[in-house]
Amino acid sequence: MRRNAIFIVLFCSALFAAAQQPTLLVDIDHRPATSLDGEWHYIVDPYHAGWGSSTSNSDVPSPRGYARDGHYVTGGPLIEYDFAKSPTIHVPGDWNTQKENLLYYEGLLWYERDFEFHPRPRTHVFLHIGAANYAAHAFVDDVHVCDHEGGFTPFDCEITDAVKDGVNFVVIAVDNARALDHVPTIKSDWWNYGGLTRDVSIVEVPDAYIDDETLYLTKSGDIQGYAHITGGTTGSKVSMRIPDLQLNGSATTDSDGRASFSVHPNGLERWSPEHPRLYKVEFTAGEDHLTDDIGFRTIEVQGDEILLNGKSIFLRGVSVHAEAPFRSGRASSDEDVSTLLGWAKELHCNFVRLVHYPHDERMTRLADKLGILVWSEIPVYWSIDWTNQHTYDVAKQQLHEMIRRDRDKASVILWSLSNETPISDARTKFIGDLATEARHEDPTRLITSAMLTPMHDKTAVLNDPLGAYLDVLGYNEYIGWYMGKPEDAPSFKWEDPMHKPVIISEFGGSAKAGLHGPADQRFTEEYQAEIYKEQFAMFREMPFLRGIAPWVLMDFRSPVRLLAGIQDGYNRKGLVSDKGEKKKAFFILQDYYAGLAK
């Protein structure tokens, strides 16, 4: 008996474990798709019963698992779950803020919904998931179609062989349990919102299809790039059109499926914050057509300056978490992103630091339209498990997915590899290797990281060894909050021995909206405002400073901010409260930026 049981588990694990690796199709928001957003049934499963094998602790799908989507009928066979009888929850969205009893829930939760689909002949069908925090296992009609790790980047599961003509069902297990070898790891200063937090849809493409494309402006003024075709034959013709520039490019695929373009535009309007001009681009490869809206600009560093379209620029920024204004939870709607970027515009920002993970593609698309430059970051945050190969592979995969999704966004100028990671050789090697990956994947953008500022006796010497791998140095400092008094700031000396452009990627302090008092009383709006005023005086003495991104645009939920009556589970360093109340510092910064913008 026992031997047979082991054989069955091994056979099942071999069968089920062979789920495909997901892929990533770009410009999904420009493709026709069947949206699966809406109400999904869910089952909360802290003990992983849904994997169907009560005795083994390993999460291997088995015939009794929830992926089968069984329905219990009285008198029928024993089934101890039934999605159809289970409550529903909205997708996209985190589960924590939708159900009171799930606010603190971290663990496994199963999603299920039915969908009708009629596949066309000679096509590939994909289940597109905008993001699922943290680990996801997807099944269509009880076929294990893919697994994914990483809570903030999109992935596409091929379901061509699983989906049938008519009614289908999809089951997705999402697990946001924290672990040391994850990215991010166990500790963070933001809420670990779990679930299918971004759009889910079904996308159908022809047999040979465009799964990647990028076009960029070279320093010599040419538009270069490529389209990548999967399922095609070497030598297949691919065309690229930019109607507004009367530009037509044609190329054939090489043995890797890549068709490269190089055309010289006349009368190109370069993209910039003052003039965020986007061009419609059309790619055609056989039966597949893909469009995109792309802005063309150059970005580079020269000594300690950042040049946008050849001109030195100062980044008037703010740091932004993907926290939904007014309702709290993971930001996921057009309204959420337009409120957040609307406030940034009101501040006269030309730059946002999207922290500490890639945000919804809506954010970078809107930044493209509004003319707001973007710093995009992967959640290599605080103390990651630097010597763990799996951790490195997950970080690299998230980097790849972040770049692949947003490589076509003119607004995105900086790829950030990490935030506030303590200096060690293992750490510097880990992130240094990621820098090499990023440069290989996208040689057209700048590489940065947010580092802790080394302070000795009121002197900041910006010599973190990681800086050697970066184009732009991001440094976080909290003079006036975690260190000293607000008025100490102007007396700090700053040195940039690497002679690279520096961004103060975080500074600030907390204030409870509406709490007023003397400027030396913490948590008052006056204290926060004082910090800003003193920082501005300090910045005037930093000739290599090329940008700032105050911490933070809006108060956000955090599991480590528990001062009752003031924080109540929120980081209160926002310039705006989570309810949209603008604090004094908001207007201080607005005036400062209005002056700089002139």
Residues that bind ligand GCU (CB under 6 A): 189, 356, 419-420, 476, 506, 551, 571, 573
Q: With respect to ligand GCU, which residue has the nearer C-beta, 170 or 344?
A: 344
- Cα–Cα distance for residue pair 296/294, rounded to 1 Å: 7
Q: With respect to ligand GCU, which residue has the nearer C-beta, 201 or 449?
A: 449
Q: With respect to ligand GCU, which residue has the nearer C-beta, 36 or 504?
A: 504
Contact yes or no for 110/50 (Cβ under 8 A): yes
In angstroms, how far is the first alpha carbon of the chain from the final one? 81
Minimum Å gap between C-beta 508 and ligand GCU is: 7
Minimum Å gap between C-beta 557 and ligand GCU is: 11
**Concatenated DSSP letters of 281-299:** EEEEETTEEEEEEE----E
Strands 123-129 and 200-206: antiparallel
Q: With respect to ligand GCU, which residue has the nearer C-beta, 169 or 551?
A: 551
Q: With respect to ligand GCU, which residue has the nearer C-beta, 420 or 534?
A: 420
Q: With respect to ligand GCU, which residue has the nearer C-beta, 102 or 318?
A: 318
Q: With respect to ligand GCU, which residue has the nearer C-beta, 404 or 572?
A: 572
Q: How many CB atoms lie within 10 A of CB 422?
A: 11
Contact yes or no for 146/132 (Cβ under 8 A): no
Helix (H, G, I), strand (E, B) or coil at 117: strand
Helix (H, G, I), strand (E, B) or coil at 580: coil
- Cα–Cα distance for residue pair 84/40, rounded to 1 Å: 10
Minimum Å gap between C-beta 573 and ligand GCU is: 5
Closest C-alpha among 250, 246, 213, 244 to residue 229:
213
Minimum Å gap between C-beta 146 and ligand GCU is: 31
Q: How many CB atoms lie within 10 A of CB 540?
A: 9
Minimum Å gap between C-beta 58 and ligand GCU is: 34
Q: With respect to ligand GCU, which residue has the nearer C-beta, 189 or 433?
A: 189
Q: How many CB atoms lie within 10 A of CB 105?
A: 18
Minimum Å gap between C-beta 420 and ligand GCU is: 5
**What would the two tokens of residue 498 be?**
């690497």
Minimum Å gap between C-beta 300 and ligand GCU is: 27
Minimum Å gap between C-beta 510 and ligand GCU is: 7
Closest C-alpha among 428, 292, 420 to residue 364:
292
**What would the two tokens of residue 191 be?**
């809420």
Residue 540 makes CB contacts below 8 A (sequence gap 6+) with: none
Minimum Å gap between C-beta 419 and ligand GCU is: 5
DSSP structure class, residue 330: B
Contact yes or no for 499/304 (Cβ under 8 A): yes
Minimum Å gap between C-beta 488 and ligand GCU is: 18
DSSP structure class, residue 3: H
**Concatenated DSSP letters of 8-75:** HHHHHHHHHHTPPPPB--TTGGGS-EEE--EEEEEEE-TT-GGGS-SS--S----TTSGGG-----TT
Minimum Å gap between C-beta 379 and ligand GCU is: 10
- Cα–Cα distance for residue pair 337/319, rounded to 1 Å: 14
Closest C-alpha among 308, 321, 415 to residue 363:
321
Q: With respect to ligand GCU, which residue has the nearer C-beta, 29 or 488?
A: 488
Q: Residue with CB nearest ligand GCU? A: 189
Q: With respect to ligand GCU, which residue has the nearer C-beta, 397 or 421?
A: 421
Half-sphere exposure of residue 46: CA atoms within 13 angstroms, side-chain side? 4
